[in-house]
């Protein structure tokens, strides 16, 4: 698995003001028209690959949101040669870390990707399984602690603390394991919230139709958003006040493959079953939400004797499978290079490959049309808040202004 040697292509080299290895600056003179190649397996859905034709829908006219109307975006290749990257985030010190699903964590410092941790022999990489998440402890500068989320060779979730030693990983310690009754719907995203706790998204256990019944239960760790207190040591965790029950902060999720905090707002892209993909946003301080699944799929009644939606969070945005197959959530833009984009939550779809954003009020904007990309597996965020996205073919692209 070490044979892959990512070749960093900093697209912003032509931009005179570029000073970062992240390629965070502007518009390259060489915008890439992306026609990625392979489709290695959807980061969601039911076990069968979605077969929605990726080219049928036409792009809707973008909603006018102030100066967004005058903005055009493009993609420029940032780094390539990964196997199947699913996430890129900065460490607090600015180094970029790439989660490669087969089980390799890459660190990019000064434009040079190198393996920080290779546990591919301990990770089951198959379709939605693999290494899926990383989060840096808020006290990383002094304790060097980060956390990883992966599916082990038994098919179960493992969350570990890892002590960083420069550009390599030192001691690892398992802090939480979750048995997975099926191979799909593994969640896998983690972030430290504004409350300083580690937040962990889990899927409903898989199969289809919430068949294991986890999504509406607060006494299982599946189909939920978990919230635990970790550090400053590498061992264990405690449960903070304010959860719904034990580790569970919220229920009603199907497969929150990618999600993100933006200040106190928690944005979740929850992958739907056969009909509806959704984006949810809540202020985490407002209590312990129920995101609806599987009583609801999106805003539609799905599976209940009575469709009682009282108290449930309904999507700020949803789309049907005429426009995709599995939502790939991103981040809210807070960078400097594209101020018009500030506050927009960017996301894509695994099958249809467009790039879209929605704001807190639900206004939607289309940026790149259907077919622009193939197999968008995740998004990335740079040290200065610039955004990236990545595909199953192993390339990371910077989202840039189309000058």
Between 230 and 244, CB nearer to Ca ion: 244
The piece of 18-26, 70-78, 196-204, 286-294 that touches Ca ion (CB under 5 A) is 286-294
| Tokens 């699944």 sit on residue | 293
The piece of 70-78, 90-98, 182-190, 288-296 that touches Ca ion (CB under 5 A) is 288-296
Three-state DSSP state, 322: coil
Pair 202, 223: CB distance under 8 Å:
yes
Residue 204 to residue 157: CA distance in whole angstroms: 12
In the window 69-98, what residues touch Ca ion (CB under 5 A)?
none
Supply φ then ψ for residue 190, to 5 degrees: -135, 145
Instruction: Using alpha carbons, select from 117, 30, 25, 45 the residue that is nearest to residue 375.
Output: 45
3-state helix, strand, coil in the chain (%, to 5): 5, 40, 55
Between 71 and 225, CB nearer to Ca ion: 225
In the window 179-238, what residues touch Ca ion (CB under 5 A)?
none
Minimum CB distance to Ca ion, residue 347 (Å): 15
Between 130 and 292, CB nearer to Ca ion: 292
Minimum CB distance to Ca ion, residue 181 (Å): 21
Pair 93, 23: CB distance under 8 Å:
no
Residue 98 to residue 110: CA distance in whole angstroms: 14
Between 192 and 293, CB nearer to Ca ion: 293
The piece of 164-172, 205-213, 289-297, 318-326 that touches Ca ion (CB under 5 A) is 289-297
Minimum CB distance to Ca ion, residue 107 (Å): 35
Between 291 and 347, CB nearer to Ca ion: 291
Minimum CB distance to Ca ion, residue 266 (Å): 13
Minimum CB distance to Ca ion, residue 362 (Å): 15
Q: Distance between terminal CA atoms of the chain?
A: 38
The piece of 13-21, 26-34, 47-55, 291-299 that touches Ca ion (CB under 5 A) is 291-299
Closest residue to Ca ion: CB criterion:
292
Supply φ then ψ for residue 162, to 5 degrees: -135, 135
The torsion region of residue 128 among left (phi > 0), alpha (psi -120 to 50) and beta comes to: alpha
Minimum CB distance to Ca ion, residue 291 (Å): 4
Minimum CB distance to Ca ion, residue 300 (Å): 10
228-267 mask for Ca ion (x: CB under 5 A)? Answer: ----------------------------------------
In the window 328-347, what residues touch Ca ion (CB under 5 A)?
none
Question: Judged by CB under 5 A, does residue 291 bind Ca ion?
Answer: yes
Between 255 and 391, CB nearer to Ca ion: 255
Between 107 and 316, CB nearer to Ca ion: 316
Minimum CB distance to Ca ion, residue 345 (Å): 16
HSE-up (13 A, CA, CB side) for residue 363: 12
Minimum CB distance to Ca ion, residue 246 (Å): 22
Minimum CB distance to Ca ion, residue 292 (Å): 4
Between 101 and 202, CB nearer to Ca ion: 202
Give the total of residues touching Ca ion (CB under 5 A): 2
DSSP annotation of 229: B
Between 249 and 291, CB nearer to Ca ion: 291
CA distances from 274 to 279, 300, 325 (A): 16, 12, 8
Non-local (6+) Cβ contacts of 375 within 8 A are 36, 38, 39, 40, 42, 350, 353, 391, 392, 393
Between 129 and 214, CB nearer to Ca ion: 214
Q: Is 100 exposed, middle or buried (0-12, 13-18, 19+ CB in 10 A)?
A: buried
Pair 34, 75: CB distance under 8 Å:
yes
Non-local (6+) Cβ contacts of 163 within 8 A are 144, 145, 169, 170, 171, 172, 234
Residues near Ca ion (CB under 5 A): 291-292
């Amino acid at each position: 698995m070490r044979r892959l040697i990512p070749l960093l292509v900093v697209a912003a080299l032509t931009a005179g003001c570029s000073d970062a290895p992240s390629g965070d600056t502007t518009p390259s003179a060489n915008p890439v028209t992306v026609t990625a190649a392979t489709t290695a397996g959807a980061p969601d859905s039911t076990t069968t690959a979605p077969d929605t034709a990726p080219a049928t829908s036409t792009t809707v006219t973008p909603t006018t949101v102030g100066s967004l109307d005058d903005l055009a975006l493009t993609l420029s290749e940032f780094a390539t040669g990964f196997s199947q990257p699913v996430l890129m985030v900065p460490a607090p010190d600015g180094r970029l870390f790439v989660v490669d699903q087969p089980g390799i964590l890459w660190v990019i410092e000064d434009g040079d990707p190198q393996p920080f941790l290779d546990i591919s022999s301990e990770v089951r990489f198959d379709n939605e399984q693999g290494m899926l998440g990383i989060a840096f402890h808020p006290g990383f500068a002094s304790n060097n602690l980060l956390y990883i989320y992966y599916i082990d060779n038994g098919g179960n979730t493992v969350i570990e603390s890892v002590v960083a030693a420069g550009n390599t990983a030192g001691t690892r310690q398992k802090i939480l394991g979750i048995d997975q009754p099926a191979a799909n719907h593994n969640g896998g995203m983690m972030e430290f919230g504004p409350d300083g706790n580690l937040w962990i998204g889990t899927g409903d256990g898989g199969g289809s139709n919430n068949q294991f019944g986890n999504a509406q239960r607060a006494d299982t760790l599946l189909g939920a958003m978990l919230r635990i207190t970790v550090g400053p040591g590498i061992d264990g965790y405690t449960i903070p006040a304010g959860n719904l029950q034990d580790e569970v902060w919220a229920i009603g999720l199907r497969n929150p493959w990618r999600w993100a905090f933006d200040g106190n707002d928690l944005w979740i892209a929850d992958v739907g079953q056969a009909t509806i993909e959704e984006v949810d946003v809540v202020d985490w301080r407002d209590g312990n939400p129920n995101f609806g699944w599987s009583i609801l799929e999106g805003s539609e009644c799905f599976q209940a004797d009575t469709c009682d939606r009282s108290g449930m969070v309904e999507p700020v945005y949803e789309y049907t499978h005429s426009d995709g197959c599995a939502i790939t959530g991103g981040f809210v833009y807070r960078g400097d290079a594209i101020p018009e984009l500030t506050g927009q939550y960017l996301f894509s779809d695994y099958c249809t490959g467009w790039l879209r954003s929605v704001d807190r009020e639900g206004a939607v904007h289309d940026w790149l049309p259907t077919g622009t990309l193939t197999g968008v597996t995740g998004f990335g965020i740079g040290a200065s808040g610039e955004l990236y996205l990545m595909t199953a073919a192993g390339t990371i692209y910077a989202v840039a202004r189309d000058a």
